[in-house]
């Protein structure tokens, strides 16, 4: 269960593809910065889906509040899973890296158990973009940075990950026009 918590916590702080978390390798793609007491994910072009387009990714920083839980997992709980290699997350029965089905199942079952909603790892990415685009005052610069951080383009962010309705998308324009027209009165 501790591992389940960490899988979901990682998704909540780094809205990335499930492959990122399945393939985390200690001392290669999953590193600890002892000067800041934080963990981060470092990807080269071969480590993620759009790497051939975007090259090396910026470090994907996990929330510093997770450091004690990550450290405890590594020291106390991960050894109980009998890992067969350096993958951070491992299957309890085999000690091998989590499979895509394993991650899907963890996310789906935990989210349904706690929220009563069917959810999957990819939908978590959609939720972040939809929330940021719909419920914040994020600037174009910030949205572009989020797209880069998530390993895709602004066009992809708008077309594939933004799940707002058309009414929600045009609401800022409607408000802008009301404001402009009110000033003329």
Instruction: Say if CB 121 and CB 18 are below 8 A apart.
Output: yes
Contacts for 166 with CB less than 8 Å, ≥ 6 apart: none
Q: Are strands 30-33 and 38-41 parallel, antiparallel or unpaired?
A: antiparallel
Structure confidence at residue 155 as a pLDDT band (50, 70, 90): low
- Give residue 153's pLDDT: 62
Give yes or no for residue 74 having a pLDDT over 60: yes
Q: By percentage, how much of the chain surpasses pLDDT 90? A: 50
Give yes or no for residue 84 having a pLDDT over 70: yes
Give yes or no for residue 85 having a pLDDT over 90: yes
């Amino acid at each position: 269960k501790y591992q389940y918590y960490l899988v979901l916590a990682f998704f909540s702080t780094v809205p990335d593809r499930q492959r990122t978390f399945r393939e985390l390798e200690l001392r290669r793609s999953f590193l600890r910065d002892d000067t800041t007491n934080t963990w981060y994910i470092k990807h080269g072009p071969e480590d993620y889906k759009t790497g051939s387009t975007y090259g090396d990714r910026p470090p994907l920083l996990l929330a510093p509040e997770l450091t004690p839980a990550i450290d405890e997992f590594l020291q106390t709980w991960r050894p109980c899973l009998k890992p067969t290699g350096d993958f951070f997350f491992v299957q309890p029965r085999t000690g091998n890296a989590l499979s895509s089905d394993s991650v899907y199942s963890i996310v789906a079952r935990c989210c349904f158990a706690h929220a009563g909603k069917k959810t999957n790892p990819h939908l978590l990415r959609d939720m972040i973009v939809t929330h940021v685009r719909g419920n914040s005052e994020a600037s174009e610069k910030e949205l572009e940075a989020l797209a880069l951080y998530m390993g895709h383009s602004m066009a992809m962010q708008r077309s594939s990950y933004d799940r707002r309705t058309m009414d929600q998308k045009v609401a800022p324009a409607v408000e802008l026009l009301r404001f402009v027209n009110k000033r003329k009165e």
